[in-house]
Amino acid sequence: MCGIVGYVGTREAADFLLDGLAKLEYRGYDSAGIAVYDQDRITVRKKMGRLINLLQEIKEHPVSGTIGIGHTRWATHGGPSDINSHPHTDMNGNFAIVHNGIIENYMEIKEELLKKGVVFRSETDSEVVAHLCADLYDGDFENTVRNVLRRLRGSYSLVFMSRFAPDRIICCKKDNPLIVGLGDGENYIASDIPAILSYTRKTYIMNDGEMAIVKKDGVWVTDLEGKPISKKVFVVNWDAEAAEKGGFEHFMLKEIYEQPKAIRDTLSCRMTADGKQVRFDELNWTPEDVRSIGKVLIIACGTAYHAGLLAKYFIEKLARIPVEVDIASEYRYRDPLTDSKTLSIIISQSGETIDTLAALKEAKRRGARSLAVTNVVGSSVSREADQVVYTWAGPEIAVASTKAYTTQLAALLLLAIYMGQLNGVLTTTAVTKLLQDLKKVPDQCEDIFSQVNTVKALAKAFTDHEDAFFIGRSMDYGLAMEGALKLKEISYIHAEAYAGGELKHGTLALIVPGIPVIALATQGDVEEKMISNIKEVKARDAYVIGIAKASDREVGKTVDVVLHVPDSDNFVVPILAVIPLQLLAYYVAVLKGNDVDKPRNLAKSVTVE
């Protein structure tokens, strides 16, 4: 997630902007920049890499002024570079903007502006906003911003400044966080509270559809039609460390709660406006491209491997193409049957996992086409692969992956639908139904969060046990593997996942009275079989926690307690069903007093073999 800051006052704006951006470094970024109103013009300084690079640039080329905006970028559209860094300006430097989020219809706007002779400098979606300001300027800065916002589709926190209105900056939001800090003779804008804590604790928390006109002597909030809104001052009483985590105790919990936005961002511009088709502008495949695939090879490690296991079901059932899933560290050593008819899909949150990168190179050496699914623009995997699908989860700070996993599932399900759509396997009706259910997921996550007190209570059942088991069938088995991994990596409880049908083949010998068993039963086509498996472990006095759909009435009859997830299509429900497993692992680890964000012996990105 990118960082935004803004300042209007009497002191040097650059001092606050650089300090504020430093306070947001924990969010992760690949470039940084500021724009300052400096002697009748907007001066921009921006550099790729760490904030120290920007500081050195400003030291060599100082800027002076009392109004400005700043940004740390996490690349989505266009790789990390000086040019792609924010702020962006129009051709004449009359408008400057910084942006968090995704402009879904940026290509449509860009093509319109190109016909008018506008010259674009970057590869970003954000730059269109600056040029659109210049194109729509009617002599009234505030009215121009409103007209620009009417043209945009997507998610955003946006901050605008203009040479034509040098006493103010304007900000607004939709789906992305934004606050206004209230000072004495100066006011501030930020995407997160830590940026302003050293300056003020009085804030306005901006809501979707609100626009703030920020001057040094006041802040005026309106709706997008210009109607005044009375805002209540929110006084921050967190310390700086808590503020970085948004008031959450750990980054992992914060990132669990960021999943609705991360999923929404990953889905948003990959569905047509009518909701009847999937589009991947970054792939632009033809039906022939899909029909030429003899098999799909999915390569990944850890949590990404578990996402690949579900992607096998997605692609085989929705596109009817055979799929193999390989652990990256094993792939190279088995003399695999990979050739030019193979599409290798490489999944990696960081894009730097050394085993995954080596497996990608080996698959390419054997002639396979390669497609990376990763969260980091410009990463090694994204550069090495022939094509890339980015998940827009934003940076993950906690070692245990949460939002990266759910956005991988969302992107891979969309990819499977896209393939089935192109090769004629899926009807328009089937695609529409799947997309309707996918669109509901971000809001449905909130229903799961409402059960958090139940999850906390259940966590107590684990603290006295050294072992726990997860069982599931079909897609629930892959999900069980991810649930077990989450529990063992942060709670240090030995946890194993088994296919429900394998219980009689040895696993039942491990079931003793009171042992916790998490039984996933969200897949309707195998529910009867799964209930039979649950009864087998209940007969041996296991303590069974069921995960089932909200409308299900059978699973609850056979388990000790059931956690419900919202009803959804069988292919979509795994994205929802993993959330209670993440929360359960988190609260067990907290009860055990473990360092949740930095579990022992583990690193966020594995860069040695």
Residues 228 and 257 in one domain: no
Q: Does residue 262 form part of some domain? A: yes
Residues 209 and 63 in one domain: yes
Q: Does residue 605 form part of some domain? A: no
Residues 224 and 251 in one domain: no
Residues 269 and 412 in one domain: yes
Domain count, the chain: 3
Which residue of the set 2, 133, 171, 301 is catalytic? 2
Over pLDDT 70: what percentage of the chain?
97
232 flagged as catalytic: no
**CATH for 24:** 3.60.20.10
Residues ≥6 apart with Cβ < 8 Å to 154:
101, 102, 103, 104, 105, 106, 125, 174, 268, 269
What is the mean pLDDT of the segment spanning 497-507? 83
234 or 420, greater pLDDT = 420
Write out pLDDT tens, residues 157-190. Answer: 999 999 999 999 999 998 788 999 999 999 999 9
321 or 192, greater pLDDT = 321
Q: Is the dihedral of CA 403, 405, 409, 415 positive or negative?
A: positive
Tokens encoding 309: 């296991």
| Total Cβ atoms within 10 A of residue 255 | 25
| Total Cβ atoms within 10 A of residue 335 | 7
Q: Does residue 112 form part of some domain? A: yes
**CATH for 304:** 3.40.50.10490
Tokens encoding 155: 């998610």
What is residue 119's DSSP assignment?
P
Q: Does residue 434 form part of some domain? A: no
Write out pLDDT tens, residues 120-146. Answer: 999 999 999 999 999 999 999 999 999
486 flagged as catalytic: no
The closest alpha carbon to 37, from 172, 219, 216, belongs to 216
Residues 84 and 192 in one domain: yes
At 287, the pLDDT band (50, 70, 90 cuts) reads very high
The closest alpha carbon to 518, from 570, 567, 569, 465, belongs to 465
User: What is the spatial distance between Cα 44 and Cα 42, in angstroms, rounded to a whole number?
Assistant: 7
| Total Cβ atoms within 10 A of residue 1 | 24
36 or 237, greater pLDDT = 36
Backbone angles phi, psi at 318, to 5 degrees: -95, -25
Backbone angles phi, psi at 483, to 5 degrees: -60, -40
Q: Which of 236, 257, 278 is the last residue of a domain?
A: 236
| Total Cβ atoms within 10 A of residue 453 | 8
Residues 340 and 465 in one domain: no
pLDDT score recorded for residue 603: 60
E-only strand ranges, 412-483 = 467-472
Residues 221 and 366 in one domain: no
Q: 468: burial class by Cβ within 10 Å (0-12, 13-18, 19+)? A: buried
Residues 259 and 180 in one domain: no
User: What is the spatial distance between Cα 269 and Cα 155, in angstroms, rounded to a whole number?
Assistant: 10
What is residue 10's DSSP assignment?
S
Pairing of strands 234-235, 202-205: antiparallel
At 607, the pLDDT band (50, 70, 90 cuts) reads very low
Q: Does residue 436 form part of some domain? A: no
State whether residue 317 is helix, strand or coil.
helix
Q: Does residue 474 form part of some domain? A: yes
Which residue of the set 440, 488, 592, 604 is catalytic? 604
Q: Determine the residue type at 369.
A: R
246 or 272, greater pLDDT = 272
pLDDT score recorded for residue 605: 56
Most confident range, picked from 204-208, 232-236, 244-248, 287-291:
287-291
* pLDDT averaged over every residue in the chain: 92
Q: Does residue 433 form part of some domain? A: no
Q: Determine the residue type at 297.
A: L
Residues 222 and 269 in one domain: no
Residues 588 and 509 in one domain: yes
What is residue 228's DSSP assignment?
B
Residues 459 and 395 in one domain: no
Contact 30, 75 (CB under 8 A): yes
In the beta sheet, which residues pair with residue 564?
548
Over pLDDT 90: what percentage of the chain?
75
Q: Which of 216, 236, 256 is the last residue of a domain?
A: 236
Residues ≥6 apart with Cβ < 8 Å to 43:
35, 36, 37, 63, 65
Write out pLDDT tens, residues 199-232. Answer: 999 999 898 899 999 999 999 999 999 999 999 9
Write out pLDDT tens, residues 47-96. Answer: 999 899 999 999 999 999 999 999 999 887 888 899 999 999 999 999 99
Write out pLDDT tens, residues 562-599. Answer: 999 999 999 999 999 999 999 999 999 999 999 998 88
User: What is the spatial distance between Cα 98 and Cα 39, in angstroms, rounded to a whole number?
Assistant: 21
At 459, the pLDDT band (50, 70, 90 cuts) reads very high
Q: Does residue 259 form part of some domain? A: yes
User: What is the spatial distance between Cα 580 and Cα 449, in angstroms, rounded to a whole number?
Assistant: 8
Tokens encoding 390: 């980015």
Domain extent, residue 473, equals 448-600
Which contacts of 112-118 are long-range, i.e. CB under 8 A and separated by 24 or more positions? 118/91
What is the mean pLDDT of the segment spanning 308-319? 98
Evaluate if residue 606 carries a pLDDT over 60: no
Q: What angle do CA 426, 154, 27 make, to 5 degrees?
A: 110
Q: HSE of 27 in the Cβ direction (CA atoms, 13 Å)? A: 32
Residues 347 and 247 in one domain: yes
Evaluate if residue 322 carries a pLDDT over 80: yes
pLDDT score recorded for residue 608: 43
Which residue in this structure is represented by tokens 């966590």?
Answer: 459
Evaluate if residue 305 carries a pLDDT over 90: yes
Q: Which of 372, 394, 425 is the last residue of a domain?
A: 425
Q: Is the peptide bond before 87 cis (omega within 30 degrees of 0)?
A: yes
Q: How far is CA 380 from CA 85, 351, 371, 548, in A?
A: 20, 6, 13, 39
